[in-house]
Amino acid sequence: MMPTQIVVLISGYGGNLQAIIDAVEAEKISGQIIAVISDKEEAYGLVRAQEHRIPAYVLTPEKGEPRAVYDERLFTLLQDLNPDLVVLAGFMRILSPRLVDQYAGRMLNIHPALLPKYRGLHTHERAIENGDTLHGVTVHFVTSDLDAGPIIAYSTVPVKPHDTAETLGDRVTYKEHKLYSQVIAWFAAGKLKNEGSRVILNDIVLPKEGVMVD
């Protein structure tokens, strides 16, 4: 079987990208990262791509460029690359429905909260402010509803009494890297499918909160 052709979209540090690169190199993911695309030229993840000889593309938005126009450029690049799977790994842009629809069932996102709680930004701050004792990270298929696509899997972390957004965030980050690699490995092995709002793993329809990965 041909290894799953993966494109990873980033905007920053690329910690998740690194975890995915490592999992591919360790053959835990039966795939190949054929390209990394960043919307920011200073993203450290681009250095990671270079170090691992992965083609890297910078696609910065022009000043005042409408979202639809930027997305059309991204759409064209993705069509040229022709991936089996698009992985959003800290890509800080909302994608237009046309792009998302094109990759329905083969575009993943990781979100640093236990969805459906805390869509959007500042998730660690919000979990602390609300006095949550449990927080975590979720991986889901991407739809045009922000952070609201069908959930695949989640990992939890405790919120400790004196946590700051930073200490809590570090705990979440550690789980993110394990969780994302695992979900991508399932997809690449053909074990993971998305049919409408249903997520199917190993021929079993998952509950709407997804499967827990420790």
> 18-37 mask for ligand GRF (x: CB under 6 A)?
--------------------
Query: Is 110 among the residues that bind ligand GRF (CB under 6 A)?
Result: yes
Q: Does residue 107 contact residue 88 with C-beta atoms inside 8 Å?
A: yes
Cα 106 to Cα 100: distance, rounded to the nearest angstrom: 9
127, 135 Cβ separation under 8 angstroms: yes
Stretch touching ligand GRF by CB under 6 A, among 5-13, 79-87, 93-101, 126-134: 5-13
d(CA 188, CA 186): 6
Binding of residue 13 to ligand GRF (CB under 6 A) = yes
Contact 19, 180 (CB under 8 A): yes
Q: Is residue 12 close enough to count as binding ligand GRF by CB under 6 A?
A: yes
Please state the closest distance from residue 56 (CB atom) to ligand GRF, in A.
14
Tell how far CA 39 is from the center of its chain: 15
Of the pair 59, 200, the CB lying nearest ligand GRF is at 59
Sequence-ordered strand ranges (E) for the chain: 4-10, 31-38, 56-58, 85-88, 107-111, 134-141, 151-158, 192-195, 198-201, 204-205, 211-212
Beta-carbon count within 10 A of 167 CB: 13
The answer to whether residue 105 forms part of the interface with ligand GRF (CB under 6 A) is no
Q: Looking at residues 143 to 172 of the shown chain, list those that interact with ligand GRF (rule: CB under 6 A).
A: none
111 is catalytic: yes
Chosen residue from 7, 33, 89, 152 binding ligand GRF by CB under 6 A: 89
Closer to ligand GRF at the Cβ: 21 or 74? Answer: 21
Burial (CB < 10 A; 0-12, 13-18, 19+), residue 79, is: exposed
Q: Which residue is nearest to ligand GRF (CB)?
A: 90
- Residue 120 or residue 158: which is nearer to ligand GRF going by CB? 120
Question: Which residues of the chain form contacts with ligand GRF (CB under 6 A)?
Answer: 10, 12-17, 89-90, 110-112, 176
